[in-house]
Amino acid sequence: MSDGPEHLTLARHGYLVGREVGRLAYGCWRLPETPQEALAGKIDAALEVGANIIDTAAVYGAGEAERMLGALLAERSSLRDEIVLVTKGGITPPVPYDSTKRHLIASCEASLTRLNCEAVDVFLIHRPDFLTGAAEVAEAVAEIVASGKARSVGVSNYTLEQTRALQSFLDIPLVVTQPEFSALHTDPLDDGTLDYAQGASILPLAWSPLAGGSLATGRVPDRADLRATGLVAVLERIAKDNGSTRECVALAWLLAHPAGVVPIIGTQSPERIRAAAGAFEIKMSRRDWYEILEASRGAPMP
C-alpha cells in the first residue's frame, strides 16, 4: 500500500530543434535595465540549472537586449553552441505590428546583426498582425529557414486558430508556441493551445510564469480579484509542506502539465535563477495541482 498520494512527475529535460533542452528557459526582456558586465553571471547561472533556451526579441529595449547578448556571444564564442537561441520579430512600435514578408525578413536579419551570429535556432512571430494574411507570413518564415537565418520557426501570443492557419500554409513544422501562462493566467488550459501543442509536438514556452512576479512576492496585480489572494495562500501552503517557496511551487505547477511546458524565468538575480531549479524538487500531488487551479478560478472543478 502507498504511504501517501502519488506525486506528479516533473521532467527536467525536453527536446527542441533536435537538441536536449532544460525545462526552464531564461528570458532577456529585462536585460536593458541592467549593466552589460552583469550578463555573463546571469547566463552562467541559467546554464547551471539547465536553462539553455535563451529567449529574446527585437523589441526588447528597442534591440538593446539582443545587442547585449550579441556582445557576450562575441566575447565568448563557445557560448553559442551551449544555448538554444530564440528571438522574435513583428512588433514595430508605434504601428504596432508588421508581419509582412519584407518586414519579418528584415527584422530577422537585423536581429542576427545585433546578436553577432549567423542563425538563431528559433525565430518567432511575436504577436499576430491582423493585416497580414497567413499565407504571406508563411512565405516569410519559410524563406527565413530556407536561407539559413533560422533553423526553425514558431509563434508567440497566437490563438489556436491563428496557429493552425499559419501551419496550413507551411511545409515545415512550427516548433514553438509562446503563450502567457501561469497559475494566475490559465487560458492555455482551456483555449486549445496546450492540446494542439501536444498533438503537433510543439514546445510551449510560457511567458510571465509567475504573473509578473506577483506569485513569488505575494503582491497580486491590481487587476486581479480576490481569487488571486486565495491562490497565493494555496501556493504558500504547498511551499511550506515542501520547505520551499511560492515561486518554485508556481513553476512546478506549470512543469507538471503533460504538454512539456517550459517556463521562461526573467529575474535579473543569478541567485534567484539558481533557486528556480528548486521547482523540480517540489512534491506535488494531483490534488495539489487541482487545488491551485480551483483557487485560480475561484470555484471547484465541475
**Calpha distance 229→219 (Å, rounded):** 9
CA gap 258, 265 in Å, rounded? 20
What's residue 223's pLDDT?
A: 52
Residues 6+ apart with CB under 8 A from 73: 79, 80, 115, 116, 117
Q: What is the pLDDT of residue 3?
A: 60
Phi then psi for residue 150, to 5 deg, are -145, 145
Residues annotated as part of the active site: 60
> Tens of pLDDT along 74-117?
999 999 999 999 999 999 999 999 999 999 999 999 999 999 99
- Predicted TM-score (pTM) of the model is 0.94
List of domains in the chain: 13-216+258-281 (3.20.20.100)
Q: Tell me what the mean pLDDT of segment 113-125 comes to.
A: 98
Q: Which long-range contacts (CB under 8 A, 24 or more apart) does 129-136 make?
A: 129/90, 129/97, 129/98, 129/99, 129/100, 130/97, 131/97, 132/98, 132/99, 132/100, 134/162, 134/165, 134/166, 134/168, 134/169, 135/169, 136/99, 136/100, 136/101
Instruction: Provide the CA 272 distance to its chain's centre, in angstroms.
Output: 17
Q: What is the DSSP letter of 188?
A: H
Distances (CA, A) of 234 to 178, 208, 244, 252, 289: 26, 19, 13, 13, 10
The answer to whether 204 and 156 have CB atoms below 8 angstroms apart is: no
* % of residues, the chain, pLDDT over 70: 96
DSSP 37-64: GGHHHHHHHHHHTT--EEE--TTGGGGH
Rounded Cα distance, 259 and 133, in Å: 28
Q: How far is CA 99 from CA 121, 123, 128, 151, in A?
A: 19, 13, 8, 19
Report pLDDT digits (tens) over 170-221.
999 999 999 999 999 999 999 999 999 999 999 999 999 999 888 887 776 5
Tell me which residue of 49, 6, 1 sits closest to 288, measured CA to CA: 6
Report the C-alpha gap between 262 and 255 in whole angstroms: 7
Q: Specify whether the CB–CB gap between 197 and 163 falls below 8 A.
A: no
Contacts of 252 (CB under 8 A, 6+ apart): 10, 279, 280, 282, 284
pLDDT of 222: 54
How much is the average pLDDT of 117-122?
98
Which pLDDT score is estimated for 217? 79
pLDDT in tens, 275-289: 999 999 999 999 999
Q: What is the pLDDT of residue 1?
A: 36
Give me the amino acid identity at 31.
L
Task: State the residue for C-alpha cell 518586414.
Answer: 103
Cell digits of residue 244: 520551499
- How far apart CA 153 and CA 176 sit, in angstroms, is 7
* pLDDT band, residue 229 (cuts 50/70/90): confident
